[in-house]
Chains A and B, each alone.
Chain A
């Protein structure tokens, strides 16, 4: 009978045992929201470590204390230590008379090319001229896909509205050619013709496919882009961890630089298809420590957002 008042009388020092059942429930809850199982476990362990030995306030329950702490941890994971400011950096590159180069990479079908096109639209809206480098020389239709986007983007931003300058161009050499070489030529072309930004599309590849991973590392090594963006879809489950770990690993292993270029940021796509199962955002940022630079929220050019960490965590912890 009096047990229901337990939390109200006196103070209590939290032990792991007190928290265990709550944490177990929390873990299942965030796994159901699509956080990778291992990361859900680690998160809950870290909450337990943080709270162990803490004195519980008079009016707080174990459940709400655990939940608040988990909330804080998640917001922290999603809040970048470092901001990627593409507009600022691209402007700076422009002032130094060189193009700002971004590589898009990731596994098959996650939305690399589409979100490249969306980012292109955003850059053009901000007054930059863009060269799209068609370095997926493998997948059927990949070049035509980018050609279509280039045409559509130029219709939206015709040269007449920009002092006669064509805002978006495509650099392509068809299929079957070496991607790293095309990227290099594209960057040189942009330099020579004073184009501000080069967006480099790459073929999708599985993280275990060694030859393809080596080829990506080569592309990044020889071109040393300003930004390497990993594109991952919000639909992905436990595989998110393996994808990011192995992309980074392959870039590190195949680099000849003392400080190898790794993934600088993440584009989280298809965020409109997952309702409140937002866990992949946590899995990806936890794995890399890198920020989610953009969130893809649909299939049109304006479906690009910044991550709202608080809203994501709210959706994650909501019943």
Chain B
């Protein structure tokens, strides 16, 4: 993932600080340039990158400060704070409650991996002993119900959907009602892919959300996305109450930096990552341990303010 791969580049950029005899504006700029280039190559939103640069710069006043060690420390910890901000929205990840019906609704752009990830998440909870099911509220995409049905059947997960009903709101409502009555604990609702430019699709998403009253809305984002992510993610958040992010296709060469802007735009943490097409190519993602690991890496150790 982006920050993990960036670790090396950032370490080497930070070495510029340790190697320099005096820390001046020039050294700082050179270091920031390296870090920003790496972030931009990883698709991190350019506005966020510029902000990071400004925020780090604003911490240091070269005229006022003395003492090389102090400057080094301040710069390094400012860099870390900003990097952590990219991935940690400062919100606790949603957790389902045992013994009650937890409705999880999936939303996202076309082809981002919603249907595949729905099955992965269902499989994950089922393996942990939760009573789990899937609902296909995508009546638009050709073969959508077959896709979910085949995935669910293979993993022996109960599912609900229809070949004839064309209104996703009705399917979603009926499915959730049915599974609530049967005391399912994890009820996952898959929806069609959509984008902010098409109002009717966004309106439909809101209607499905209102019909099923989800406990958690997951925004699914493809790791290869570039600069368009931020505006889309923000629009989804404005329409429905997105509370979690899942980044898919991290088995690709992509670093997922573009997808990270969904974290800032939706103020929601990444809860899982997808790392392949198979149902168990799925890893839970915890922001805090990830950040500690990042901060604990090699030369970086002990740089953050205690």
Question: Given A38-B41, A270-B109, list of 17 further CB < 8 A pairs?
Answer: A31-B46, A107-B224, A139-B147, A140-B147, A141-B144, A141-B148, A145-B141, A207-B253, A208-B251, A235-B225, A237-B224, A237-B258, A238-B43, A238-B254, A270-B195, A273-B110, A275-B231
Are A299 and B110 within 8 A (Cβ)? yes
Pick the residue among B41, B47, B151 that contacts A37 (CB under 8 A).
B41
A141, B253: Cβ atoms closer than 8 Å? no
- Asked whether, in the complex, the Cβ of A208 is within 8 Å of the Cβ of B227, the reply is no
Closest to B151 in A: A140
Q: Does B177 have its Cβ within 8 Å of any Cβ on chain A?
A: no
Q: Which of B123-166 contact A (CB under 8 A)?
A: 140-151, 154
Q: How far is the CA of A237 from the CA of B228 in the complex (A)?
A: 8
Size bracket, chain B contacts? 35 or more
The answer to whether B254 touches A239, judged by C-beta atoms less than 8 angstroms apart, is yes
Instruction: Give Cα distance in the complex from A152 to B232, angstroms.
Output: 30
Q: How far does the alpha carbon of A142 sit from the alpha carbon of B143 in the complex, in Å?
A: 7
Q: Mark B243-279, 1 if CB is under 8 A from A, else 0.
A: 0000001011110011000000000000000000100
Q: Which of A28, A109, A233, A234 has the largest number of chain B CB atoms within 10 A?
A: A109
Contacts of A238 in B (CB 8 A): 41-43, 226, 254
The contact of B143 among A144, A243, A280, by CB within 8 Å, is: A144
Chain B residues closer than 8 Å to A275, beta-carbon distance: 197, 228, 231
Residues A109 and B141 in contact in the complex (CB < 8 Å), given A144-B146, A237-B43, A277-B226: no
Complexed CA–CA distance, A139 and B110 (Å) = 16
Least Cβ–Cβ distance between B267 and chain A, in angstroms: 22
A147 in contact with B143 (CB, 8 Å): yes
Tally of contacts, chain A with chain B, CB under 8 A: 144
Q: Is the CB of B147 within 8 A of A279?
A: no
11 A-B pairs with CB atoms under 8 Å apart are A32-B47, A139-B147, A141-B115, A152-B142, A206-B249, A208-B252, A233-B111, A235-B228, A239-B252, A246-B253, A273-B109
Partner of B253, one of A239, A277, A279, A280: A239
Residues 200-236 of chain A, each 1 if its beta carbon lies under 8 Å from chain B, else 0: 0000001111000000000000000000000001111
- Considering the complex, give the chain B residue whose CB is closest to the CB of A147: B143
Cβ contacts under 8 Å, B222 to chain A: 109, 235
Q: Check if B304 is an interface residue, CB within 8 A of chain A.
A: no
Residues of B within 8 Å of A28, CB to CB, are 46
Q: Which residue of A lies closest to B230 (CB)?
A: A277
B214 within 8 A of partner (CB): no
Provide the residues of chain A in CB contact with B47, threshold 8 Å.
32
CB of B29 within 8 Å of the partner chain? no
CB of A310, distance to nearest CB on chain B (Å) = 22
A256 on interface, CB distance cutoff 8 Å: no
| B232 contact from A107, A147, A273, Cβ within 8 A | A273
Q: Which residues from B are CB-within-8-Å of A279?
A: 226-227
Kindly provide the distance from the CB of A31 to the nearest chain B CB, expressed in whole angstroms.
6
Determine whether B37 belongs to the interface, using a CB cutoff of 8 Å to chain A. Answer: yes
- Asked whether A140 and B226 contact (CB < 8 A) given A31-B46, A235-B109, the answer is no
A274 to B226, CA, bound (A): 10
- Let me know if B216 is at the binding interface, CB within 8 A: no
A270 CB → nearest B CB, Å: 6
Picked from B111, B147, B151, the residue with its CB within 8 Å of the CB of A110 is B111
B112 at the interface (CB under 8 A from A): yes
A129 at the interface (CB under 8 A from B): no
| Contact between chains at A140 and B142 (CB < 8 Å) | no
Closest 4 CB pairs of A and B: A237-B226, A141-B147, A145-B143, A109-B111
- Which of these, A31, A109, A139, contacts B112 with CB under 8 Å? A109
A34 touching B143, Cβ below 8 Å: no
Query: Is A272 part of the contact surface with B, judged by Cβ < 8 Å?
Result: yes
Contact between A139 and B195, CB atoms less than 8 A apart? no
The minimal Cβ–Cβ distance linking B2 to chain A, given in whole angstroms, is 11
Min CB distance, A166 to chain B, in Å?
19
Q: For chain B, residues 25 to 71, give those with C-beta under 8 angstroms from any C-beta of chain A.
A: 37, 40-43, 46-47
Partner of A141, one of B46, B110, B150, B277: B150
Contact between chains at A299 and B112 (CB < 8 Å)? no
Q: Is the CB of A34 within 8 A of B227?
A: yes
Given contacts A109-B111, A208-B252, A235-B109, contact A141 B227 (CB under 8 A): no
- The answer, yes or no, to whether A108 is at the interface (CB within 8 Å) is yes
The answer on a CB contact under 8 Å between B142 and A37 is no
Instruction: For the complex formed, measure the closest distance between the CB of A309 and the CB atoms of chain B, giving whole angstroms.
Output: 20
B113, CB-defined interface residue at 8 Å = yes
Asked if A149 is at the interface of the complex by the 8 Å CB criterion, the answer is yes
- Min CB distance B97 to A, Å, is 30
Interface string of A91-119 (1 = CB under 8 A from B): 00000000000000001111101100100
Please determine whether B143 and A32 come into contact, CB atoms closer than 8 angstroms.
no
Asked if A189 is at the interface (CB within 8 A of a chain B CB), the reply is no
Whether, in the assembled complex, A138 has its beta carbon less than 8 Å from a beta carbon of chain B, the answer is: yes
Q: Once the chains bind, are A111 and B110 in contact (CB under 8 Å)?
A: yes
Which residues of chain B are within 8 angstroms of A109 by Cβ–Cβ distance?
Answer: 110-113, 222, 249
Q: Does chain B have a CB within 8 A of A148?
A: yes
Q: Does A72 contact B (CB under 8 A)?
A: no
Chain A, residue nearest B144 (CB): A141
